[in-house]
Amino acid sequence: MRDELDKAWTIGDPLGSVQRDARPRLPKRFYREVGVEARDGGFALLLDGRGARTPGKRALAFPTRALAEAVAREWAEQGEFIDPREMPLTRLANSAIDGVAQTMAETRADFAAYSASDLLCYRAAAPERLVAFQAEAHDPVLRWVRQAFGADFIVTTSVIHVRQPDAALAAVRAVLESIVDPFQLAALHVLTTLTGSALLALAVAHGRLAVDDAWRAAHVDEDFQISQWGEDDEAMIRRAARWREMQAAAQMLEGVTPSRYEDPISR
For residue 12, the model assigns a pLDDT of: 45
For residue 197, the model assigns a pLDDT of: 97
Domain that holds residue 77: 2-88
Q: How far apart are CA 10 and CA 89, in angstroms?
A: 14
172 and 59: one domain? no
49 and 172: one domain? no
CA neighbor of 39 nearest in space, from 61, 24, 55, 18:
61
Q: What is the CATH number of the domain that holds 59?
A: 3.30.2180.10
For residue 213, the model assigns a pLDDT of: 97
Among the three residues 88, 119, 145, which one is the final residue of a domain in this structure? 88
Number of structural domains, the chain?
Answer: 2
Domain membership of residue 152 (yes or no) is yes
CA 8 to chain centre: 20
| φ, ψ at 105 (rounded to 5°) | -65, -45
Query: Under a CB-based contact definition with an 8 Å cutoff, are residues 103 and 189 in contact?
Result: no
Domain membership of residue 15 (yes or no) is yes
What is the residue-level pLDDT of the chain in tens, covering all 267 positions?
Answer: 555 566 566 544 544 444 444 556 899 999 999 999 999 999 999 999 999 999 999 999 999 999 999 999 999 999 999 999 999 999 999 999 999 999 999 999 999 999 999 999 999 999 999 999 999 999 999 999 999 999 999 999 998 999 999 999 999 999 999 999 999 999 999 999 999 999 999 999 999 999 999 999 999 999 999 999 998 899 999 999 999 999 999 999 998 854 443 333 332
CA 197 to chain centre: 11
For residue 151, the model assigns a pLDDT of: 97
For residue 216, the model assigns a pLDDT of: 97
Among the three residues 36, 63, 88, which one is the final residue of a domain in this structure? 88
82 and 145: one domain? no
For residue 44, the model assigns a pLDDT of: 97
215 and 108: one domain? yes
For residue 257, the model assigns a pLDDT of: 58
Q: What is the CATH number of the domain that holds 230?
A: 1.10.3580.10
The count of other CB atoms within 10 Å of the CB of residue 54 is: 19
Domain membership of residue 97 (yes or no) is no
117 and 230: one domain? yes
80 and 183: one domain? no
Domain membership of residue 95 (yes or no) is no
Domain membership of residue 98 (yes or no) is no
For residue 8, the model assigns a pLDDT of: 60
116 and 210: one domain? yes
Domain membership of residue 93 (yes or no) is no
111 and 57: one domain? no
- In which region does residue 40 sit, left (phi positive, over 0), alpha (psi from -120 to 50) or beta (all else)? left
Q: How far apart are CA 236 and CA 257, in angstroms?
A: 33
Domain membership of residue 94 (yes or no) is no
Q: How far apart are CA 74 and CA 82, in angstroms?
A: 10
For residue 227, the model assigns a pLDDT of: 92
Query: Under a CB-based contact definition with an 8 Å cutoff, are residues 190 and 99 in contact?
Result: no
Among the three residues 88, 116, 148, which one is the final residue of a domain in this structure? 88
Query: Under a CB-based contact definition with an 8 Å cutoff, are residues 241 and 234 in contact?
Result: no
179 and 143: one domain? yes
189 and 223: one domain? yes
81 and 111: one domain? no
66 and 123: one domain? no
Q: How far apart are CA 41 and CA 169, in angstroms?
A: 35
Domain membership of residue 141 (yes or no) is yes
